[in-house]
Structure 1
Amino acid sequence: MIRGVLFDLDGTLLDHRSAADAAITGWVSAYAPGHARLPEVAGLWEELELPHLAAWHAGECTVEEQRRRRVRALCEELCVRVPADLDAAYEEFSRRYREGWRAYPDAVAALDALDAFGGPALGVLTNGTQRVQEAKVRAIGLEGRVGPVLTGEVLGGHFKPSPAGYTGAAAALGLEPHEVLLVGDDVVKDVTAPAATGMRSVWLDRLNLEPPPEGFPRITTLADLPALLA
Protein backbone atom coordinates (compact mmCIF):
# COMPACT_ATOMS: atom_id res chain seq x y z
CA MET A 1 0.00 0.00 0.00
CA ILE A 2 1.31 3.44 -0.94
CA ARG A 3 1.38 5.67 2.15
CA GLY A 4 3.77 8.34 0.92
CA VAL A 5 4.68 10.17 -2.28
CA LEU A 6 8.06 11.72 -3.02
CA PHE A 7 8.29 14.26 -5.82
CA ASP A 8 11.37 15.19 -7.73
CA LEU A 9 11.57 19.00 -7.98
CA ASP A 10 13.30 20.24 -11.14
CA GLY A 11 11.39 19.07 -14.19
CA THR A 12 8.58 17.65 -12.06
CA LEU A 13 7.12 20.41 -9.88
CA LEU A 14 9.25 23.31 -11.14
CA ASP A 15 9.91 24.11 -14.81
CA HIS A 16 13.68 24.11 -14.43
CA ARG A 17 14.49 23.78 -18.10
CA SER A 18 12.59 26.89 -19.22
CA ALA A 19 14.10 28.96 -16.41
CA ALA A 20 17.66 27.73 -16.97
CA ASP A 21 17.50 28.08 -20.75
CA ALA A 22 16.26 31.67 -20.56
CA ALA A 23 18.79 32.56 -17.85
CA ILE A 24 21.90 31.28 -19.60
CA THR A 25 20.81 32.65 -22.97
CA GLY A 26 20.25 36.04 -21.36
CA TRP A 27 23.62 35.94 -19.61
CA VAL A 28 25.58 35.09 -22.76
CA SER A 29 23.62 37.65 -24.77
CA ALA A 30 24.69 40.33 -22.30
CA TYR A 31 28.26 39.06 -21.90
CA ALA A 32 28.96 38.42 -25.59
CA PRO A 33 26.39 40.45 -27.56
CA GLY A 34 25.61 39.09 -30.99
CA HIS A 35 27.45 35.80 -30.47
CA ALA A 36 26.93 33.58 -33.50
CA ARG A 37 26.22 30.49 -31.39
CA LEU A 38 23.62 32.08 -29.14
CA PRO A 39 20.89 29.65 -30.29
CA GLU A 40 23.08 26.77 -29.09
CA VAL A 41 23.83 28.16 -25.65
CA ALA A 42 20.93 26.59 -23.75
CA GLY A 43 21.75 23.14 -25.08
CA LEU A 44 25.45 23.52 -24.28
CA TRP A 45 24.67 24.62 -20.72
CA GLU A 46 22.34 21.66 -20.24
CA GLU A 47 25.07 19.28 -21.40
CA LEU A 48 27.46 20.77 -18.85
CA GLU A 49 25.05 20.30 -15.94
CA LEU A 50 25.35 16.54 -15.63
CA PRO A 51 29.12 15.95 -15.43
CA HIS A 52 29.82 18.90 -13.16
CA LEU A 53 26.90 18.21 -10.81
CA ALA A 54 28.02 14.57 -10.70
CA ALA A 55 31.51 15.68 -9.65
CA TRP A 56 30.03 17.64 -6.76
CA HIS A 57 27.74 14.77 -5.72
CA ALA A 58 30.74 12.44 -5.73
CA GLY A 59 32.64 14.77 -3.40
CA GLU A 60 35.25 15.61 -6.03
CA CYS A 61 34.70 19.35 -5.67
CA THR A 62 32.59 21.87 -3.77
CA VAL A 63 29.28 23.10 -5.13
CA GLU A 64 30.90 26.49 -5.72
CA GLU A 65 33.74 24.92 -7.69
CA GLN A 66 31.42 22.94 -9.94
CA ARG A 67 29.64 26.18 -10.77
CA ARG A 68 32.94 27.84 -11.68
CA ARG A 69 33.85 24.87 -13.86
CA ARG A 70 30.58 25.08 -15.73
CA VAL A 71 30.96 28.79 -16.48
CA ARG A 72 34.58 28.31 -17.55
CA ALA A 73 33.73 25.33 -19.77
CA LEU A 74 30.90 27.21 -21.47
CA CYS A 75 33.07 30.23 -22.18
CA GLU A 76 35.85 28.06 -23.55
CA GLU A 77 33.39 26.23 -25.81
CA LEU A 78 32.08 29.55 -27.10
CA CYS A 79 35.63 30.94 -27.46
CA VAL A 80 34.87 33.99 -25.34
CA ARG A 81 36.95 35.45 -22.54
CA VAL A 82 36.59 33.55 -19.28
CA PRO A 83 35.36 35.99 -16.59
CA ALA A 84 37.95 36.97 -14.01
CA ASP A 85 35.35 36.47 -11.28
CA LEU A 86 33.62 33.19 -12.03
CA ASP A 87 31.52 33.38 -8.86
CA ALA A 88 30.08 36.74 -9.90
CA ALA A 89 29.38 35.40 -13.38
CA TYR A 90 27.49 32.43 -11.99
CA GLU A 91 25.56 34.66 -9.62
CA GLU A 92 24.39 36.75 -12.57
CA PHE A 93 23.15 33.58 -14.25
CA SER A 94 21.57 32.52 -10.95
CA ARG A 95 19.76 35.86 -10.58
CA ARG A 96 18.22 35.43 -14.01
CA TYR A 97 17.41 31.81 -13.22
CA ARG A 98 15.57 32.73 -10.01
CA GLU A 99 13.44 35.20 -11.94
CA GLY A 100 12.22 32.33 -14.09
CA TRP A 101 11.13 29.94 -11.34
CA ARG A 102 7.59 28.76 -12.04
CA ALA A 103 5.58 25.75 -10.95
CA TYR A 104 4.16 23.60 -13.69
CA PRO A 105 0.43 24.35 -14.08
CA ASP A 106 -0.52 20.81 -13.06
CA ALA A 107 1.39 20.80 -9.76
CA VAL A 108 -1.10 22.49 -7.42
CA ALA A 109 -4.09 20.66 -8.89
CA ALA A 110 -2.35 17.33 -8.39
CA LEU A 111 -1.58 18.16 -4.76
CA ASP A 112 -5.20 19.18 -4.20
CA ALA A 113 -6.33 15.88 -5.69
CA LEU A 114 -3.95 13.93 -3.46
CA ASP A 115 -5.41 15.69 -0.42
CA ALA A 116 -8.85 14.59 -1.53
CA PHE A 117 -7.53 11.11 -2.26
CA GLY A 118 -6.63 10.60 1.37
CA GLY A 119 -3.58 12.66 2.04
CA PRO A 120 -0.50 10.42 1.74
CA ALA A 121 2.65 11.73 3.40
CA LEU A 122 4.48 13.97 0.94
CA GLY A 123 8.07 15.02 0.42
CA VAL A 124 10.45 16.34 -2.21
CA LEU A 125 13.58 14.36 -3.10
CA THR A 126 15.95 16.47 -5.14
CA ASN A 127 19.64 16.67 -6.03
CA GLY A 128 20.19 20.41 -5.69
CA THR A 129 21.57 22.29 -2.70
CA GLN A 130 19.32 22.43 0.35
CA ARG A 131 19.16 26.23 0.48
CA VAL A 132 18.36 26.69 -3.19
CA GLN A 133 15.82 23.87 -3.42
CA GLU A 134 13.96 25.12 -0.36
CA ALA A 135 13.94 28.60 -1.91
CA LYS A 136 12.44 27.16 -5.10
CA VAL A 137 9.61 25.47 -3.20
CA ARG A 138 8.83 28.77 -1.46
CA ALA A 139 9.06 30.78 -4.68
CA ILE A 140 6.58 28.60 -6.55
CA GLY A 141 4.08 28.68 -3.71
CA LEU A 142 4.37 25.05 -2.57
CA GLU A 143 5.91 25.54 0.87
CA GLY A 144 3.75 23.68 3.37
CA ARG A 145 2.12 21.67 0.58
CA VAL A 146 4.80 19.16 -0.36
CA GLY A 147 6.31 18.10 2.95
CA PRO A 148 10.02 18.19 3.71
CA VAL A 149 12.57 19.09 1.04
CA LEU A 150 15.18 16.34 1.09
CA THR A 151 18.54 16.72 -0.63
CA GLY A 152 21.77 14.78 -0.37
CA GLU A 153 22.97 17.48 2.01
CA VAL A 154 20.46 16.34 4.64
CA LEU A 155 20.60 12.65 3.70
CA GLY A 156 24.17 12.00 4.73
CA GLY A 157 25.65 13.05 1.41
CA HIS A 158 23.58 10.50 -0.49
CA PHE A 159 22.26 12.04 -3.71
CA LYS A 160 20.10 10.23 -6.24
CA PRO A 161 20.77 7.55 -7.53
CA SER A 162 22.46 6.39 -4.30
CA PRO A 163 20.28 3.69 -2.67
CA ALA A 164 20.84 5.33 0.72
CA GLY A 165 19.24 8.51 -0.61
CA TYR A 166 15.97 6.70 -1.30
CA THR A 167 15.89 4.73 1.93
CA GLY A 168 16.80 7.86 3.87
CA ALA A 169 14.03 9.83 2.20
CA ALA A 170 11.47 7.14 3.01
CA ALA A 171 12.64 7.13 6.62
CA ALA A 172 12.25 10.92 6.74
CA LEU A 173 8.55 10.33 5.99
CA GLY A 174 8.41 7.67 8.71
CA LEU A 175 7.89 4.97 6.10
CA GLU A 176 9.57 1.95 4.55
CA PRO A 177 10.70 2.25 0.91
CA HIS A 178 7.99 -0.16 -0.34
CA GLU A 179 5.35 2.19 1.09
CA VAL A 180 6.57 5.15 -0.98
CA LEU A 181 6.03 6.19 -4.59
CA LEU A 182 8.63 8.42 -6.26
CA VAL A 183 7.45 10.63 -9.12
CA GLY A 184 10.04 12.23 -11.39
CA ASP A 185 11.25 12.97 -14.89
CA ASP A 186 14.64 11.22 -14.84
CA VAL A 187 14.38 7.58 -15.93
CA VAL A 188 17.37 6.43 -13.89
CA LYS A 189 17.35 8.68 -10.82
CA ASP A 190 13.58 8.76 -10.37
CA VAL A 191 12.42 5.44 -11.82
CA THR A 192 14.80 2.50 -12.13
CA ALA A 193 17.27 3.30 -9.32
CA PRO A 194 14.70 3.67 -6.50
CA ALA A 195 13.13 0.36 -7.52
CA ALA A 196 16.31 -1.41 -6.37
CA THR A 197 15.44 -0.38 -2.79
CA GLY A 198 11.86 -1.61 -3.07
CA MET A 199 10.47 1.88 -3.62
CA ARG A 200 7.71 2.27 -6.19
CA SER A 201 8.21 4.78 -8.97
CA VAL A 202 6.48 6.40 -11.91
CA TRP A 203 8.06 8.23 -14.83
CA LEU A 204 6.72 11.71 -15.54
CA ASP A 205 7.34 12.03 -19.27
CA ARG A 206 6.05 15.53 -19.97
CA LEU A 207 7.25 15.43 -23.57
CA ASN A 208 5.65 12.05 -24.24
CA LEU A 209 8.94 10.83 -25.65
CA GLU A 210 8.88 7.05 -25.50
CA PRO A 211 7.55 4.07 -23.54
CA PRO A 212 8.83 3.76 -19.97
CA PRO A 213 11.27 1.05 -18.91
CA GLU A 214 9.55 -2.30 -18.81
CA GLY A 215 7.51 -2.78 -15.68
CA PHE A 216 7.22 0.91 -14.77
CA PRO A 217 4.22 3.18 -15.29
CA ARG A 218 4.43 6.44 -17.20
CA ILE A 219 2.32 9.58 -16.93
CA THR A 220 2.59 12.70 -19.08
CA THR A 221 1.07 15.09 -16.54
CA LEU A 222 0.77 15.20 -12.77
CA ALA A 223 -2.98 15.34 -13.29
CA ASP A 224 -2.81 11.59 -13.96
CA LEU A 225 -1.15 10.78 -10.63
CA PRO A 226 -4.24 10.49 -8.38
CA ALA A 227 -5.88 8.04 -10.77
CA LEU A 228 -2.70 5.98 -10.86
CA LEU A 229 -2.66 5.78 -7.08
CA ALA A 230 -6.30 4.80 -7.02
Structure 2
Amino acid sequence: MTRRTLQAPIAAVTFDLDFTLWDLDGVLPHAEAVCHGLLEQHYPAVTQHVGAEGMRELRNQIAAERPDIAHDVTALRRAGLRRAGELAGYAGPILDTLVEEAFDVFLEARHAVRLYPDTLAMLRALQGRVRVGAITNGNADIARIGLDAYFDFALSAVDLGAAKPSHLVFDTAAGRAGVAAGQIVHVGDDVHSDVYGAAANGMQAVWLNRDNAAWPGDVPDVPHTPVSSLAELEGMLLGLIRESM
Protein backbone atom coordinates (compact mmCIF):
# COMPACT_ATOMS: atom_id res chain seq x y z
CA MET A 1 0.00 0.00 0.00
CA THR A 2 1.58 3.25 -1.19
CA ARG A 3 1.08 6.04 1.30
CA ARG A 4 1.23 9.63 0.10
CA THR A 5 1.45 12.82 2.12
CA LEU A 6 -1.02 15.48 1.00
CA GLN A 7 0.63 18.35 -0.81
CA ALA A 8 -0.16 22.07 -1.11
CA PRO A 9 -1.63 23.88 -2.89
CA ILE A 10 -5.13 22.59 -2.18
CA ALA A 11 -7.97 24.51 -3.80
CA ALA A 12 -10.88 22.04 -3.52
CA VAL A 13 -12.04 19.04 -1.49
CA THR A 14 -14.61 16.55 -2.75
CA PHE A 15 -16.41 13.93 -0.70
CA ASP A 16 -18.12 10.66 -1.34
CA LEU A 17 -21.39 10.55 0.64
CA ASP A 18 -22.64 7.15 1.85
CA PHE A 19 -20.35 5.71 4.55
CA THR A 20 -18.10 8.77 4.24
CA LEU A 21 -20.23 11.60 5.65
CA TRP A 22 -22.94 9.42 7.15
CA ASP A 23 -23.63 5.87 8.28
CA LEU A 24 -25.88 3.93 5.90
CA ASP A 25 -26.04 0.72 7.93
CA GLY A 26 -29.64 -0.48 8.03
CA VAL A 27 -30.96 2.53 6.10
CA LEU A 28 -31.56 0.83 2.75
CA PRO A 29 -33.24 -2.27 4.25
CA HIS A 30 -35.49 0.09 6.24
CA ALA A 31 -36.32 2.12 3.13
CA GLU A 32 -37.10 -1.07 1.21
CA ALA A 33 -39.37 -2.22 4.03
CA VAL A 34 -41.21 1.12 3.92
CA CYS A 35 -41.63 0.72 0.16
CA HIS A 36 -42.87 -2.85 0.63
CA GLY A 37 -45.43 -1.64 3.16
CA LEU A 38 -46.86 0.89 0.73
CA LEU A 39 -47.12 -1.76 -1.99
CA GLU A 40 -48.72 -4.20 0.43
CA GLN A 41 -51.36 -1.64 1.39
CA HIS A 42 -52.14 -0.08 -1.99
CA TYR A 43 -50.92 -2.60 -4.59
CA PRO A 44 -51.19 -5.97 -2.81
CA ALA A 45 -50.86 -8.03 -5.98
CA VAL A 46 -47.23 -6.91 -6.23
CA THR A 47 -46.19 -8.19 -2.81
CA GLN A 48 -48.10 -11.42 -3.43
CA HIS A 49 -45.93 -12.03 -6.50
CA VAL A 50 -42.59 -10.47 -5.54
CA GLY A 51 -40.97 -10.28 -2.12
CA ALA A 52 -38.01 -8.13 -1.03
CA GLU A 53 -35.46 -10.63 -2.31
CA GLY A 54 -37.41 -10.94 -5.55
CA MET A 55 -37.21 -7.18 -6.03
CA ARG A 56 -33.44 -7.30 -5.70
CA GLU A 57 -33.28 -10.14 -8.22
CA LEU A 58 -35.40 -8.12 -10.66
CA ARG A 59 -33.02 -5.16 -10.38
CA ASN A 60 -30.05 -7.45 -10.98
CA GLN A 61 -31.74 -8.91 -14.07
CA ILE A 62 -32.49 -5.45 -15.41
CA ALA A 63 -28.91 -4.30 -14.80
CA ALA A 64 -27.68 -7.27 -16.85
CA GLU A 65 -30.20 -6.58 -19.61
CA ARG A 66 -29.68 -2.81 -19.61
CA PRO A 67 -25.99 -1.97 -19.17
CA ASP A 68 -26.85 1.57 -20.26
CA ILE A 69 -28.58 2.15 -16.90
CA ALA A 70 -26.53 -0.20 -14.70
CA HIS A 71 -24.78 2.82 -13.13
CA ASP A 72 -28.08 4.56 -12.33
CA VAL A 73 -29.52 3.29 -9.05
CA THR A 74 -32.62 5.45 -9.46
CA ALA A 75 -33.41 4.14 -12.94
CA LEU A 76 -32.79 0.55 -11.81
CA ARG A 77 -35.08 0.86 -8.80
CA ARG A 78 -37.85 2.44 -10.87
CA ALA A 79 -37.45 -0.22 -13.55
CA GLY A 80 -37.60 -2.95 -10.90
CA LEU A 81 -40.84 -1.52 -9.49
CA ARG A 82 -42.31 -1.28 -12.98
CA ARG A 83 -41.47 -4.88 -13.82
CA ALA A 84 -42.83 -6.10 -10.49
CA GLY A 85 -46.04 -4.21 -11.18
CA GLU A 86 -46.30 -5.70 -14.66
CA LEU A 87 -45.77 -9.21 -13.29
CA ALA A 88 -48.62 -8.55 -10.87
CA GLY A 89 -50.93 -7.48 -13.70
CA TYR A 90 -50.83 -3.71 -13.39
CA ALA A 91 -50.64 -1.57 -16.53
CA GLY A 92 -51.26 1.93 -17.86
CA PRO A 93 -51.74 4.92 -15.55
CA ILE A 94 -52.12 2.81 -12.41
CA LEU A 95 -48.73 1.22 -13.10
CA ASP A 96 -47.17 4.66 -13.54
CA THR A 97 -48.69 5.79 -10.25
CA LEU A 98 -47.49 2.63 -8.50
CA VAL A 99 -43.89 3.28 -9.60
CA GLU A 100 -43.97 6.95 -8.55
CA GLU A 101 -45.61 6.37 -5.16
CA ALA A 102 -43.39 3.42 -4.25
CA PHE A 103 -40.18 5.13 -5.33
CA ASP A 104 -41.07 8.37 -3.54
CA VAL A 105 -41.54 6.67 -0.17
CA PHE A 106 -38.36 4.66 -0.68
CA LEU A 107 -36.35 7.79 -1.49
CA GLU A 108 -37.68 9.69 1.52
CA ALA A 109 -36.77 6.84 3.87
CA ARG A 110 -33.41 6.39 2.15
CA HIS A 111 -32.41 9.87 3.34
CA ALA A 112 -33.03 9.10 7.03
CA VAL A 113 -29.28 8.82 7.61
CA ARG A 114 -27.10 9.43 10.66
CA LEU A 115 -24.21 11.83 10.18
CA TYR A 116 -20.90 10.69 11.61
CA PRO A 117 -19.93 12.79 14.66
CA ASP A 118 -17.02 14.45 12.81
CA THR A 119 -18.91 15.35 9.62
CA LEU A 120 -20.33 18.78 10.44
CA ALA A 121 -17.11 19.98 12.06
CA MET A 122 -15.20 19.06 8.90
CA LEU A 123 -17.65 20.79 6.56
CA ARG A 124 -17.76 23.92 8.72
CA ALA A 125 -13.96 24.05 8.82
CA LEU A 126 -13.74 23.98 5.02
CA GLN A 127 -16.62 26.35 4.30
CA GLY A 128 -15.41 29.48 2.55
CA ARG A 129 -11.79 28.31 2.48
CA VAL A 130 -11.84 25.97 -0.54
CA ARG A 131 -14.35 24.73 -3.10
CA VAL A 132 -16.28 21.78 -1.65
CA GLY A 133 -18.01 19.15 -3.77
CA ALA A 134 -20.00 15.95 -3.34
CA ILE A 135 -19.53 13.00 -5.71
CA THR A 136 -21.79 9.97 -5.32
CA ASN A 137 -22.57 6.80 -7.23
CA GLY A 138 -25.88 6.64 -5.39
CA ASN A 139 -28.99 8.82 -5.35
CA ALA A 140 -28.38 10.67 -2.09
CA ASP A 141 -29.36 14.34 -2.20
CA ILE A 142 -27.40 16.64 0.12
CA ALA A 143 -30.30 19.13 0.12
CA ARG A 144 -32.69 16.51 1.53
CA ILE A 145 -30.25 15.92 4.37
CA GLY A 146 -29.78 19.64 4.99
CA LEU A 147 -26.11 19.84 4.02
CA ASP A 148 -26.37 21.76 0.73
CA ALA A 149 -25.20 25.03 2.33
CA TYR A 150 -21.77 23.48 2.87
CA PHE A 151 -21.23 22.46 -0.76
CA ASP A 152 -20.40 24.41 -3.90
CA PHE A 153 -21.48 21.58 -6.20
CA ALA A 154 -22.78 18.01 -6.18
CA LEU A 155 -22.41 15.31 -8.83
CA SER A 156 -24.13 11.94 -9.07
CA ALA A 157 -23.85 8.96 -11.37
CA VAL A 158 -27.59 9.36 -11.97
CA ASP A 159 -27.05 12.78 -13.55
CA LEU A 160 -23.70 12.14 -15.24
CA GLY A 161 -24.48 8.83 -16.90
CA ALA A 162 -21.30 7.35 -15.45
CA ALA A 163 -20.10 6.17 -12.05
CA LYS A 164 -16.84 6.41 -10.14
CA PRO A 165 -14.09 5.41 -10.91
CA SER A 166 -14.87 6.65 -14.46
CA HIS A 167 -12.63 9.50 -15.60
CA LEU A 168 -15.78 11.33 -16.73
CA VAL A 169 -16.88 11.73 -13.12
CA PHE A 170 -13.57 13.08 -11.86
CA ASP A 171 -12.99 15.24 -14.94
CA THR A 172 -16.42 16.79 -14.42
CA ALA A 173 -15.63 17.40 -10.74
CA ALA A 174 -12.39 19.19 -11.66
CA GLY A 175 -14.31 21.29 -14.16
CA ARG A 176 -16.94 22.23 -11.58
CA ALA A 177 -14.27 23.04 -9.02
CA GLY A 178 -12.48 25.17 -11.60
CA VAL A 179 -9.00 23.99 -10.58
CA ALA A 180 -6.41 21.45 -11.71
CA ALA A 181 -7.02 17.87 -10.60
CA GLY A 182 -3.79 17.82 -8.58
CA GLN A 183 -5.12 20.64 -6.38
CA ILE A 184 -8.20 18.60 -5.43
CA VAL A 185 -8.36 16.23 -2.47
CA HIS A 186 -11.01 13.52 -2.89
CA VAL A 187 -12.19 11.70 0.24
CA GLY A 188 -14.02 8.39 0.26
CA ASP A 189 -14.42 5.04 1.97
CA ASP A 190 -14.53 2.86 -1.15
CA VAL A 191 -11.07 1.75 -2.28
CA HIS A 192 -12.02 1.09 -5.90
CA SER A 193 -14.52 3.85 -6.66
CA ASP A 194 -13.03 6.63 -4.55
CA VAL A 195 -9.37 6.01 -3.81
CA TYR A 196 -8.28 4.26 -7.00
CA GLY A 197 -10.63 6.41 -9.09
CA ALA A 198 -9.39 9.74 -7.73
CA ALA A 199 -5.69 8.82 -7.83
CA ALA A 200 -5.94 7.38 -11.34
CA ASN A 201 -7.48 10.65 -12.48
CA GLY A 202 -4.82 12.90 -11.00
CA MET A 203 -6.41 13.92 -7.71
CA GLN A 204 -4.94 13.57 -4.24
CA ALA A 205 -6.81 10.56 -2.89
CA VAL A 206 -7.75 10.07 0.76
CA TRP A 207 -8.95 6.69 1.99
CA LEU A 208 -11.30 7.16 4.93
CA ASN A 209 -10.70 3.81 6.62
CA ARG A 210 -12.70 3.99 9.83
CA ASP A 211 -12.48 0.23 10.44
CA ASN A 212 -8.73 -0.22 9.81
CA ALA A 213 -9.42 -2.55 6.89
CA ALA A 214 -6.66 -4.02 4.74
CA TRP A 215 -6.14 -2.82 1.19
CA PRO A 216 -8.05 -5.29 -1.03
CA GLY A 217 -5.93 -7.48 -3.24
CA ASP A 218 -8.11 -7.00 -6.32
CA VAL A 219 -7.60 -3.22 -6.50
CA PRO A 220 -4.38 -1.81 -8.03
CA ASP A 221 -2.18 -0.02 -5.53
CA VAL A 222 -2.21 3.77 -5.97
CA PRO A 223 -0.61 6.57 -3.92
CA HIS A 224 -3.09 7.78 -1.31
CA THR A 225 -3.42 9.16 2.21
CA PRO A 226 -5.14 6.84 4.71
CA VAL A 227 -7.03 8.40 7.65
CA SER A 228 -9.18 6.83 10.33
CA SER A 229 -11.55 9.79 10.79
CA LEU A 230 -12.63 13.07 9.25
CA ALA A 231 -11.29 14.80 12.36
CA GLU A 232 -7.79 13.52 11.56
CA LEU A 233 -8.15 14.72 7.98
CA GLU A 234 -9.48 18.10 9.12
CA GLY A 235 -6.21 18.88 10.85
CA MET A 236 -4.20 17.89 7.78
CA LEU A 237 -6.31 20.00 5.45
CA LEU A 238 -6.41 23.15 7.55
CA GLY A 239 -2.64 23.27 7.70
CA LEU A 240 -2.32 22.74 3.95
CA ILE A 241 -4.99 25.31 3.15
CA ARG A 242 -3.03 27.93 5.10
CA GLU A 243 0.06 27.01 3.07
CA SER A 244 -1.95 27.35 -0.13
CA MET A 245 -3.06 30.94 0.53
Q: Is TM > 0.5 for Structure 1 vs Structure 2?
A: yes
Which secondary structure does the structure 2 equivalent of 1:206 belong to? coil
Match of 1:123 among 123, 133, 144: 133
Identify the match of residue 150 of structure 2 among 126, 145, 154.
145
Counterpart in 1 of 2:243?
none
For 2:29, the aligned partner's letter is: D
Equivalent position to 2:24, from 5, 10, 16 = 16
Does the CA-based 8 Å contact 1:184-1:191 persist in structure 2? yes
TM-score with structure 1 setting the length: 0.70
Q: 1 CA distance for matches of 2:39 and 2:115?
A: 28
1:82 to partner: Cα distance: 5.4
Identical-residue share of aligned pairs (%): 32
For 2:115, give the aligned amino acid: A
Is the contact between residue 55 and residue 61 of structure 1 (CA under 8 Å) also seen in structure 2?
no
Q: How does 1:52-71 map to 2 (within 5 A)?
A: 58-59=68-69, 65-71=75-81
Residues 1:94 and 2:107 are matched in the alignment: yes
Larger Cα-atom Rg: 2
Q: How many Å separate the matches in 1 of 2:132 and 2:205?
A: 14
* 1:112 corresponds to: 124
TM-aligned CA deviation for residue 173 of structure 1:
0.7
8 A Cα contact 2:59 2:76, kept in partner: no
Picking from 164, 168, 183, the partner of 2:168 is: 164
**Given the two structures, how large is their TM-score scaled by the length of structure 2?**
0.66
**C-alpha separation between the residues in 2 aligned to 1:210 and 1:6?**
23
1:185-204 equivalences in 2 (<5 Å): 185-204=189-208
Q: Is the 8 A contact 1:124 1:149 kept in 2?
A: yes
Q: What is the DSSP-based 3-state SS (H/G/I as helix, E as strand, rest coil) of the residue aligned with 1:209?
A: coil
SS in 2 for 1:144: helix
CA distance in 1, matches of 2:180, 2:145: 29
Number of the residue aligned with 1:221: 229
Amino acid in the other structure paired with 1:7? F
Given that residues 102 and 140 in structure 1 are in contact (C-alpha distance below 8 angstroms), is that contact kept between their aligned partners in structure 2? no
Higher RCO structure (Cα 8 Å, ≥6 apart): 2
Aligned length: 209
Q: 1:14 Cα deviation (Å)? A: 3.3
- Contact 2:118–2:230, Cα closer than 8 Å, also in 1: yes
Root-mean-square deviation (CA, aligned residues, Å) is: 3.9
Distance 1:63 1:97, change over 3 A: closer
Distance 1:59 1:27, change over 3 A: closer
CA displacement at 1:59 relative to structure 2: 4.1
Task: Tell me, in whole angstroms, the C-alpha distance in 2 between the residues paired with 1:61 and 1:162.
Answer: 11
